[in-house]
Structure 1
Amino acid sequence: MRAIKGMLGLLLVLPLLASAEEIGQVSTVFKFVGPNDRIVVEAFDDPKVPGVTCYLSRAKTGGIKGGLGLAEDRAESSIACRQVGPIHLPDDLKDGEEVFKERTSLVFKTMQVVRFFDKKRNTLVYLVYSDRVIEGSPQNAVTAIPILPWPQP
């Protein structure tokens, strides 16, 4: 019964996370069988902070395992977030809140983006990192957006 409640809770939280749109990709390693290894560039809008779009670049493993979704992608990723419209911070904004999550291996590894608000500098900070059930990776990337007035049309 607990497992069912946990799954239902997860399904309720998933719509609050952003989903990424692929912007483009480049091939990095040719594979004779299956897709090539590549770097993918994706964009997502912060689901709680309108006016913010983040761009992620990350490695995707190819080959037979990659084509079947069984390969483990590398932990390296890069992030750049930008103000693309007026920003209105919601009252329930939490530091370290997860705004994007994607599986990077069959079961145990994920890439996550979390958000922080630097109140002193009026700046949103986004951190991308990879973790694993047993052991995560210290590799990470960070980007910051100073919240600026947005011109009215």
Structure 2
Amino acid sequence: MKALALPVLLGYSLLSSVAFGEKIGEVSTVFKWLGPNDKIVLEAFDDPKVAGVTCYLSRAKTGGVKGGLGLAEDRSEASIACRQVGPIEFRGDLKDGEEVFRERTSLVFKSMQVVRFFDRTRNTLVYLVYSDRVIEGSPQNSVTAIPILPWPEH
């Protein structure tokens, strides 16, 4: 039992700096006779290293029998919008290209991820969403930027 617990704890600690999405809503795009419909899912997540930033991610979710069983590969299209929702405070050092969100989009080989960059010249946080695959990724992507501004005190 202890031999199994150690890899699980190590895996969790490696992922602990990656945010998890909170489902905001979804819309059906294609009706399926068997299994769930194809959808666009809207999720929100907070940047784990930057307090005061929330990102909203919309992405395709494949339905049908395979989708219902978690065996379908989701499409690579996604859109992202990040906003300042409070005073911005860095929680540790920021690394350009650091992953802040990851979601599996196929059983094994494909994932959608969001990475962050800090444009120091313009004092702006830039977030990029893209899909990758073990062998070949997708050039489809979306980007959003947040200028770091003072937050009014109430």
When normalised by structure 2's length, the TM-score is 0.93
Q: Give the AA of the match of 1:147.
A: I
SS of structure 2 residue aligned to 1:87:
strand
Q: Which residue of 2 aligns with 1:117?
A: 118
Q: Structure 2: how far apart are the matches of 1:134 and 1:10?
A: 23
Runs of 4+ in 1 over 2 A off after TM superposition: 4-11
Whose strand proportion is higher, 1 or 2? Answer: 2
Alignment of 1:4-153 (within 5 A): 9-153=10-154
Q: Give the AA of the match of 1:129.
A: Y
1:22-80 Cα offsets, whole Å, 9 max, x none, are 11110000000000000000000000100000000000000000000000000000000
> Which is worse superposed, 62-71 or 81-90?
81-90
Q: Identity across aligned pairs (percent)? A: 77
Cα root mean square deviation, aligned: 1.4
When normalised by structure 1's length, the TM-score is 0.94
Deviation at 1:124, TM superposition (A): 0.1
> Which is worse superposed, 91-100 or 39-48?
91-100
Unaligned runs of 5+ in 1: none
SS of structure 2 residue aligned to 1:52:
strand
SS of structure 2 residue aligned to 1:66:
helix
Q: Structure 2: how far apart are the matches of 1:138 and 1:9?
A: 32
Deviation at 1:8, TM superposition (A): 5.0
Number of residue pairs the alignment of both structures matches: 150
Kept in 1: contact 2:49–2:92 (CA 8 A): no
Q: Structure 2: how far apart are the matches of 1:129 and 1:42?
A: 15
